[in-house]
Amino acid sequence: MKDVLTAPFLAELVRTCTNMYAHGWDERNGGNISMLLNASDVAEYLDLKMVLRALPTGFRAETLDGKYFLVTGTGKYFKNVQYDPAANLGIVRLTDGGQTAELLWGYSDGGKFTSEFPAHMMSHAARLAVDPENHVVMHCHPNNLLAMTYVHDLDEKAFTRTLWQMETECIVVFPEGVNVLPWMLCGTNEIGEATAEKMKTARLVVWAQHGIYGAGRDLDETFGLIETAEKAAEVYLKIAHLPWKNTITDEQLHQLEKRFGVNAREGYLK
């Protein structure tokens, strides 16, 4: 059995936490990541029959039954993950239709999965239904996207169109746009269900006055989605209060669609 600390999936997740903290997206214990793992990959490092603890989840997620996830811990600081992965991360297997998370490794100080576990698992289920290759769900508090939710209309079409106009590559990176939830109490099954519903039509879901959820096939794709939307929001905040002399027009956005072979969200362009 190999040492799980040498597993590429674990090393990459640790690097991602460190990078997100460096971007200022994950102050204190802000932010959380969950990554779907292949059972055969986990079996190289852990005895799958050795369950350390059985943790109740408080929700059902039938389609995720038997699946393995690497998940950041509740109350843990992203800045510390690199120094003690075993205390800050855990590998769990969902059973009982998602109602129990069997801990196979991690949370070594007696901790458990992130308080946003419902939103993560429900989002995985929603994304897997539209993309069987989806592996990652990521939540964080990027400054500019957060700020934008205070001054911009929260209508999804309007919010998306503004981001697309702020940087040429946006429509190529997230042609389906971003979905937006109004402020809701976090950590609940309700916000989990609402996020998952929004995840059916987009990989990015903004939580107004809180942060963002991203989903993707791997850590790079998911990080890159958030990074691109956050950059666009930064440009918006730099110019929102100034008179605009230019923008990226719908005609130009159509040109980008054609050039890069992407389809903008139906009805979002004239």
3-state secondary structure of 96: helix
Minimum distance of Zn ion from residue 5's CB (angstroms):
27
- Decide if 44 is catalytic: no
Minimum distance of Zn ion from residue 174's CB (angstroms):
20
Q: Would you say 211 or 216 has its CB closer to Zn ion?
A: 211
Q: How open is the CA angle 97-101-103, to the nearest 5 degrees?
A: 150
Q: How open is the CA angle 197-77-209, to the nearest 5 degrees?
A: 45
Minimum distance of Zn ion from residue 141's CB (angstroms):
6
Minimum distance of Zn ion from residue 197's CB (angstroms):
18
Query: How many residues make contact with Zn ion (CB under 5 A)?
Result: 1
Close Cβ partners of 8 (under 8 Å, ≥ 6 residues apart): none
Q: How open is the CA angle 75-79-83, to the nearest 5 degrees?
A: 100
Q: Would you say 177 or 211 has its CB closer to Zn ion?
A: 211
Instruction: Write each residue from 201 to 240 as x if it is in contact with Zn ion (CB under 5 A), else as -, in one continuous string.
Output: ----------x-----------------------------
Q: Would you say 98 or 142 has its CB closer to Zn ion?
A: 142
The residue number with the shortest CB distance to Zn ion is: 211
3-state secondary structure of 171: helix
Alpha carbon distance 179, 73 (integer Å): 26
CA dihedral 226, 228, 230, 234 (to 10 degrees): 180
Alpha carbon distance 84, 80 (integer Å): 7
Q: Would you say 106 or 211 has its CB closer to Zn ion?
A: 211
Alpha carbon distance 127, 85 (integer Å): 27
Minimum distance of Zn ion from residue 183's CB (angstroms):
12
Q: Cβ atoms within 10 A of the Cβ of 44, count?
A: 11
Which candidate in 12, 62, 116, 251 is catalytic?
A: 116
Instruction: Write each residue from 65 to 104 as x if it is in contact with Zn ion (CB under 5 A), else as -, in one continuous string.
Output: ----------------------------------------
Q: Would you say 45 or 213 has its CB closer to Zn ion?
A: 213
The number of angstroms, rounded, from the C-alpha of 203 to the middle of its chain's C-alpha atoms is: 8
In a 13 Å sphere around the CA of 66, the CA atoms on its Cβ side amount to: 3
Query: Which positions are annotated as active-site residues?
Result: 116
The residues that touch Zn ion, with contacts defined as CB under 5 A, are 211
